[in-house]
Amino acid sequence: MTTLTNVSIPEEGVRLTQPHVQAYIGSQSLGNGTLIISERAVTWTLTSAQSGDHSAQGFELSYPSIVLHATSTDRSNFPEEHIYIVVDGNKSERRRRRVPLLLTNEEEAARRALQVESEEMNEDEDDDDSEAGRSIEVRFVPDDKSSLSQIYHEVCVGQELNPEEDDDMSDDEGLECDEVSNGHDLQVNGSDGHWYTAENMDGVELSEEGMANLQRMMGGRRDDSDDEQIEQ
Amino acid sequence: MLFFSFFKSLVGKDVVVELKNDLSICGTLHSVDQYLNMKLSDITVSDPDRFPHMLSVKNCFIRGSVVRYVQLPSDQVDTQLLSDSCRRELTEAKTKQ
């Protein structure tokens, strides 16, 4: 059984409001409602349970929790064409720890409600595998099938508007790749923000003491070789 | 931006995108953006048992941050050029500091 929660209806940055959209989580239908795609999240609200002007029963998917989305047009698996979304159930939980977003309560509740479904889906997986997220399948089935391509497109736009936050690097296994792709991120890592390699050692600035030590070491070595001490 | 440029050069090629949730999607790279969000076309999945509904999907949009690996067609990648470019970009990033 899925419990819908009170979600705030987005008012800013709304890119698409599509009425008469059935929502499914896994194989369970949540009923008929309105799909609202804003720049901040994908929100679905149940039509029959309007609880106010600014909030309604429904659920909300933040863009970072949306692993992938697609238009499903093959009706051999599902009787109607729909928007198919894979949601990372762990994502909202992790984000809750890090950033206190307004929507996290709803996200968390939605996640908990969906957990049963995802547990069924992932039953053959180790529970302690924290990296492999609990994946939840969400489907939006609009009455108006001609809206499918626009829904798909607006979710793409929303994804592009919501890249990972910079502080996501800490638990990102793609750390090295990300560093390479954003040169400036190199500065944030390391104790003093600089990485020294054989190629840029010339630019190293040492303290007076460090410089003296270096000169002694370098000088000493040269003296040794010049003095024929080694040859003796 | 090197990897963005690199992936752009692979548009139209067949790749296998392995996601952090262990789903592997095989398809043709349709497009890629600066966050390495990727659109794939003509997709197939390696384990349809876990995601049976992926079977009825032909194209999809994958969020860049959920990608673990991208398997590339080896004959389409100039590894020498890629590693040289990688070094060059790192050097440039350092000199900018």
Mutation pick from A27, A68, A131, A159 vs chain B, by most beta carbons of B within 10 Å, is A68
Mutation pick from B5, B20, B30, B47 vs chain A, by most beta carbons of A within 10 Å, is B20
pLDDT of residue A112: 62
* Least confident residue range of A44-48, A182-186, B49-53: A182-186
Residue pLDDT, tens place only, A145-162: 999 999 999 999 999 999
Mutation pick from B23, B87, B94, B95 vs chain A, by most beta carbons of A within 10 Å, is B94
pLDDT of residue A163: 92
Residue B10 and residue B77: Cα distance in Å, rounded?
9
* Least confident residue range of A30-34, A47-51, A190-194, B36-40: A190-194
| A70 vs A108, more confident | A70
Q: Which CATH class is domain A5-163?
A: mainly beta
Q: Please determine, for residue A144, whether its predicted confidence score (pLDDT) is greater than 80.
A: yes
* Pick from A76, A152, A199: CB nearest B56: A76
pLDDT of residue B30: 95
CA distance B49 to chain A (A): 9
pLDDT of residue A49: 55
The domain total for chain B is 1
What are the structure tokens assigned to A53, written together? Answer: 């002007």
* Pick from A66, A70, A159: CB nearest B59: A70
ipTM of this complex: 0.86
Q: Kindly report the CATH number assigned to the domain that includes residue B14.
A: 2.30.30.100
Listed by start position, the domains of chain A span 5-163
Range of the domain at B23: 2-96
Using a cut of 0.90, tell me whether the model's pTM lies above it: no
Q: Is B94 within 8 Å of A76 when comparing Cβ atoms?
A: no
Q: Please determine, for residue A172, whether its predicted confidence score (pLDDT) is greater than 60.
A: no
pLDDT of residue A154: 96
| A84 vs A164, more confident | A84
Contacts with A160 from chain B: Cβ below 8 Å: 33, 35, 37
Chain A residue closest to B40 (CA)?
A70
Evaluate whether A62 touches A96 at the Cβ level (below 8 Å).
Answer: no
% residues pLDDT > 70 (chain A):
49
